[in-house]
Amino acid sequence: MREIERLINNYGESHQNSTNVWIHAIAVPAIYFVTIGLVWSIPVPAFIAEFNITFAHILAVPVLYYYFKLSGPIGAAMTLLTIAAFYGIELLLFLEISVWQFCLALFVVMWILQFVGHKIEGKKPSFFEDLRYLLVGPAWWWVHWLKRLNIQY
């Protein structure tokens, strides 16, 4: 069994209840977005900022490398989600909404929802046993979509 299949299967074991799955279908991509937004909000030194690069851009490189290492389709899908997150940040800026405040508030709300989902499920979150599952969650979310599109992950 490939590593991505093992991780997705293990993650899926604590995500069987339909309410928990629905909560995670909303909260997981939202948490990915707001995490990027929070990292984006960390001030960068002037010599980096002059290139219009943030810590979120820098962090995206090893994160996307990890996803591509697990699976090409997952890596491509996560690249799309990452690009969408950066566009979401640009939208917040355009609307003159504080990125860090919006992202922090949504981060807290989405994590509360996920813990409620796990309470309903009756199983602890996967990342309690292995922190890699914090990155597996978005991949798990994409697997549902890839399967619907008949794309092998």
pLDDT tens-place string over residues 59-95: 999 999 999 999 999 999 999 999 999 999 999 999 9
Q: What is the mean pLDDT of residues 133-139?
A: 94
Structural tokens at position 61:
């490189």
The ranges assigned to domains in the chain are 3-148
Q: What is the mean pLDDT of residues 47-51?
A: 91
Sign of torsion over alpha carbons 117, 122, 128, 132: negative
Residue 104: burial class (beta carbons within 10 Å; 0-12, 13-18, 19+): middle
Residue 144's pLDDT is 86
CA 119 – CA 138 distance, rounded (Å): 20
pTM, rounded to two decimals: 0.92
CA 101 – CA 120 distance, rounded (Å): 29
Q: Say which amino acid occupies 109.
A: V
Residue 66's pLDDT is 97
